[in-house]
Structure 1
Amino acid sequence: MSLFRRFIPIHMKLHSYSHSYSARSSMDNYFLRKRRKWPLSPYKTKWQEETLTHQFAMQKLVESTANRSPKIHLLSILIDSFSTYECDPTPNAYYFILKTVTKNPSIWDEIPLILDHIGKVEKFETPEYIFTYLIKFYGDSNMTHLAYEMFFTMPAFRCKPSVKSLNCLIWVLCKNNYDLRIVLQVLVKSQLLNIWVEELTFKILIRALCRIGKANNAVDLLNLMVNSGFNLDGNICSLILSTMPEVKDCDGVEIWGVLEEMRKLGYSPKRVDLCNVIRFYVKNEKGIDALEVLNKMKMSGMVPDVVCYNLVLNGMILEGEYSNADEVFDELLVLGLNPDIVTYNVYINGLCKQIKMVEALRMLGCMEVLGCKPETNTYHTILDGLCRCGMLSSAKEVFGQMKSKGLQLSSHIYGVIINCMIRNGEVDEAYNLLHEMVDMGFLPQSITFDGLIGLLCKKGSFSEVMELLSIMVTKNVVPGIRSWETLVQVFSSAKEERNVEVEGSSGTKGAK
């Protein structure tokens, strides 16, 4: 028996051994607590009285603030509320009236009075949260210069600034697109106040640099952050990579080198990061580099999604690499990825650029079968291609499909069809479709009016010409040079015909 007892935990042995004793002692303690008279501490009582007094004063302040007259300043209400209970105002009381003032723009001029009273009359150490609130308020109200002054005048209010208020000021300066040189001045001056930056400070600065397109500077700051002993933040790395495709001046920017630097720092890029690298190359007309990144993704065991393939496909088509585009599209299908509307739109655009309109129409039909409904942009691309190739009958058919499916038409789509009809000499259909276009609320371009007016004049349909000119005047469309030249020629020839008729009739009368 003693052998088993040695393996029982000590607290279990005590519990089993003293069960009856503990039950009896707990009952004794209950009666002892029930009848004992604890001595009251005078210090604790005084503290409780002061707390209660401040609570009453604060309650009076809240009630008086809600019912105050617009002519009475909130500072006066605060002083009166605490004087009633013969106690000094607390920092929370000042924080309350400052928040109340900031919510009403008509009394913002009371803020300096309140701060002046805190600095010259009160003796407490003002909490930092009051100033961080005011710094953020000034930043949100486009008074950034006051936020700047507020930070550096904090010691005058018996408050030592910390990195928390520094981060708040930097965030305000960066949010309002302040000059980065001023931000650097703040960082330099903060060292004189013995404030040292932390990880959040770096993150705020990096985000600001990314927002203004300074991705290279953001990478330099990221290196400094890691070299200073702070942890590498994956979200910051992703932010930098997502910003680089939006950089306007890309000279000397090598995004793959940036990615390699991040890898050296210990960052493992995700699929979305490599997708942003591809987007960068496509935007800068480096489709082959984008294709290479796609291949590196597959070699590393990462499965590209349809977004990656769409970007590479678009890059190939923009550069005229149509054979590579076909391979990318086929690979997408072989991997079992479902092409989305972007995939089809990009691929159909490539077919139209190659003047493969039969294949483009076939792809349009495949979309319907595969459950991906074509959108307005899809039809728009095909209509452009058909009209550019002079395939007017097919263009009319596609245009009819758009109408029957209730798709949103546009002035550009109408203009493409009408101009194609004009080039093919189908004057009456073009005239009727232009009227339909105007009735739908779309405004034809001047070049469309010019072409149609020219054909109508040649046909001798002057009443229709005058009607079109009336529409142009109503819609404030200025006729082009072609319209004026055609009208001048028509009226000149008409005048010559009248002169010939007049001369002929006068000669006949003289002979008689």
Structure 2
Amino acid sequence: MQALRQQASSSSSSPANLLSTLISSYALYNCDPTPISYHFVIKTLIKTSQSHYIPPVLCHLEKDEKFETPESIFTDLIEFHGENEEFQEAIDLFFRLPDFRCTPTVDSLNCLLSVLCKRKEGLEVVPQVLLKSRLMNIRLEESSFCILIKALCRFKKPKNAISLLYHMVDHEIDIDRGSFSLILLTLCQQNDLKRNEVIDSVEEMKKLGFCLDRADWVNVIRFLVRRGNGKEGLEALSEMKSDGFKPDVICYTMVMDGLISERDYEGVDQLFDEMLVMGLVPDINTYNVYVNGLCKQNKFDDGIMMLSSMEEIGCKPNTITYNTLLSAIYESGEVSKASDFLKLARGKGVFVNSRTYDIMIDRMVKEDDMSEALDLLKEMVSKSMVPQPATFDEIVCRLCKNGLFSKAMNLLTEMMGKNVLPGCRSWETLLVGLQIEHSFNEINLSAMETISAKNSNSISS
């Protein structure tokens, strides 16, 4: 082996001669090459990016040697084929193992499964591989099922993964609780599954011995709340406590948010009080959710008082907190109150972001105060903030509705020069408005083409 390594590392030796180097280095000592020497040669060829010289080495190993070839040589090769997405080569090599006097085990099968499960097209041929592997007397183990379950979950096929759990039970193979949790997480992340499909799947897994832990309950609660089932989220929270798991602030916040969406404000207050009794300290997200609930009830004064309470306990309100209140006050039509609140926020040094400007501009447009809306837009852009296309569209459409087509065109040209892109509604409204105001031939198409060209360049950049 020492002689082989020296010759392989020699500058005069080439990968093409590595096989002959292998044979000659052992012939010098009147002995035959060992499995370790073949493994070294193959790894060297892979390392030096000379894999096209591997087939002759394998051919010599198959036809001219008599020893039982270790399985580890082929697992390395299967992994190499997998890294190069040579799935068929990996499959062919696995089924050729007996030709090399190698008895395939679950180790090489798992290696092949890991390779195939990296890509969806590889996963599709796994059933055929498993059928053929049974003829080779290879029995699937828990590790094999874990590989398959992880792959099915990665490709968003949790129901197929549940089917594998039944196979494991039928073959008396222990199920790792991590597999249960992974399937549950995948189910809860699916947007195309109905609520009852997920709940029924959870019940199926419970019958197979699955007991939810704290993280599992969190995933279930998040799923229910996201689907608008806040009261069911509250029930899940109760079951979580019954199972001996103490919910954290995140759990309470999620359920409170779900109850607000169902207008169960009394339940929100009870949960908030319960959280405090349990010694949990609400974080900024909890307070933002609670303030949103107050705003839904038009309790703006209570919401503003909550800001002071937050500051007293060291939880400083953020821009989201102020934007939530500002948007709700504007939505109620109390513009003067919103203006006073905005002055309060600015006086406290609160950062006014693009969302804040979008809220103010939207209200000014609804109030038909276009002068203030345009001033806010220009102030926003001057601070390098980009309005939402919908916000810009509202301004353009309102100007056109008021018959101010020239002003809308000038605004569009000015904003395009500052890389503010309009939405489709702006273009449609301007085109329709110009056709109403002028005949088609009188429309300044060259100006429109200039703006369109700027739009295209901005998008491509």
Displacement of 1:83 in angstroms is 4.2
Alignment match of 1:320 (pick from 238, 247, 263) = 263
- Name the structure 2 match of 1:502: none
2:77 matched to 1:134?
yes
Check conservation: 1:215, 1:243, Cα contact below 8 A.
Answer: yes
Q: Counterpart in 2 of 1:102?
A: 46
User: Counterpart in 2 of 1:469?
Assistant: 413
TM-superposed deviation, 1:309:
1.6
Greater relative contact order, per chain length (Cα 8 Å cut-off, separation 6+): 2
Alpha-carbon distance between aligned partners in 1 of 2:431 and 2:277, rounded to the nearest angstrom: 58
Deviates more, 1:345-354 or 1:251-260: 251-260
Q: Distance in 2 between matches of 1:90 and 1:399?
A: 83
Does the 8 A contact of 1:456 with 1:465 survive in 2? no
Shift of residue 197 of structure 1?
A: 0.9
CA contact (8 A) 2:221 2:233 kept: yes
CA–CA distance in 2 between the matches of 1:400 and 1:134?
Answer: 68
TM score, norm. by length of structure 2 = 0.80
1:311 aligned partner? 254
Greater shift in the superposed pair: 268-277 or 84-93: 84-93
The DSSP-based 3-state class of the residue aligned with 1:125 is coil
CA distance in 2, matches of 1:404, 1:289: 40
Contact in 2 for aligned 1:457/1:490 (Cα 8 Å): no
Q: Which amino acid aligns with 1:89?
A: P
- Residue 112 of structure 1: which of 55, 67, 84 is its match? 55
- AA paired with 1:174? C
**Which residue of 2 is the match for residue 248 of structure 1?**
191
- State whether structure 2 residue 431 is matched by structure 1 residue 431: no
Shift of residue 354 of structure 1? Answer: 3.6
Based on CA coordinates, which of the two structures has the bigger radius of gyration?
1
The Cα shift of 1:187 comes to 1.4
Q: Mean Cα displacement is larger for which, 366-375 or 286-295?
A: 366-375
Question: How far apart are 1:194 and its partner, in Å?
Answer: 0.8
Matched AA of 1:88: D
**The one of 157, 168, 178 aligned to 2:111:** 168
Q: Provide the rounded CA distance (Å) in 2 between the counterparts of 1:147 and 1:388.
A: 63
Moved over 6 A (4+): 456-465, 485-492
Cα 1:351–1:115 change in 2 (3 A) is farther
Kindly provide the CA deviation profile for residues 444-477 of structure 1, in whole angstroms up to 9, marking residues without a partner as x.
3555445556569979997897365333355374
- The letter for the 2-side match of 1:246 is Q
- Residue 178 of structure 2 is aligned to residue 232 of structure 1: no
Q: Contact 1:418/1:430 (CA < 8 Å) preserved in 2?
A: yes
Q: Which residue of 2 aligns with 1:45?
A: none
Describe the shift of the 1:98–1:293 C-alpha distance in structure 2 as closer, same or farther (beyond 3 A): same
Deviates more, 1:300-309 or 1:77-86: 77-86
Q: 2:142 aligns with which of 181, 199, 202?
A: 199
RMSD across aligned positions (CA): 3.6
Q: Does 1:190 align with 2:99?
A: no
For 2:5, the equivalent position in structure 1 comes to 59
Partner of 2:230: 287
Distance of 2:166 and 2:307 partners within structure 1: 50
Q: Secondary structure at the match of 1:422?
A: helix
The 3-state SS of whatever aligns with 1:175 is coil
1:272 has 2:215 as partner: yes
Paired position in structure 1 for 2:156? 213
The reply on whether 1:346 has 2:289 as its aligned counterpart is: yes
Q: How has the CA–CA distance of structure 1 residues 465 and 386 changed in structure 2, closer, same or farther, with 3 Å as cutoff?
A: farther
Cα deviation, residue 94, structure 1: 2.2
Identify if the C-alpha distance between structure 1 residues 185 and 403 changes in structure 2 by more than 3 Å, giving closer, same or farther. farther
1:370 counterpart = 2:313: yes
Alpha carbons 1:450, 1:482 under 8 Å: kept: no
1:315-346 deviation line (CA, Å, top 9, x unaligned): 22233333323322232222221122332233
Would the aligned equivalents of 1:297 and 1:304 in 2 still touch at CA under 8 Å?
A: yes
Give the direction of change, closer, same or farther, for the CA distance of 1:456–1:344 in structure 2 (3 Å limit): same
Q: 1:143 to 1:403 in 2, by over 3 A?
A: farther
Equivalent position SS for 1:320 = coil
Seen in structure 2, the aligned counterparts of structure 1 residues 253 and 467 have a Cα distance that, compared at 3 Å, is: closer
Aligned residues of 2:15 and 2:45 also touching (Cα < 8 A): no
Gaps of 5+ in 1: 1-53, 496-512
**Which residue in the other structure is 2:450 paired with?**
none
Give deviations 1:194-231, integer Å, cap 9, x for gaps. Answer: 11111111222222222233333323322332342223
SS of the residue 2:117 aligns to: helix
Q: Distance in 2 between matches of 1:74 and 1:393?
A: 86
1:245-303 residue CA offsets vs partner (Å, 9 max, x unmatched): 01233248555555455455444432222222222322333222221122223334432
**2:179 is matched by which residue type in structure 1?**
I
- The farther-off stretch of 176-185 and 70-79 is 70-79
Q: Please state how far the C-alpha of 1:96 moved relative to its aligned partner.
A: 2.2
User: How many residues end up aligned between the 2 structures?
Assistant: 435
Q: What is the identity, as a one-letter code, of the residue corresponding to 1:116?
A: C
Q: Separation in 2 of the partners of 1:450 and 1:271?
A: 46
Tell me the equivalent position of 1:18. Answer: none
1:274–1:293 contact (8 Å) kept in structure 2: yes
SS in 2 for 1:142: coil
SS of 2:85's partner is coil
CA distance in 2, matches of 1:405, 1:95: 68
Whether the 8 Å contact between 1:232 and 1:267 is mirrored in structure 2 is: no
Change in CA separation of 1:446 and 1:380 when aligned onto 2, cut-off 3 Å:
same
The equivalences for 1:142-161 within 5 A come to 142-161=85-104
* 8 A contact 2:405–2:433 mirrored in 1: no
The letter for the 1-side match of 2:5 is Q
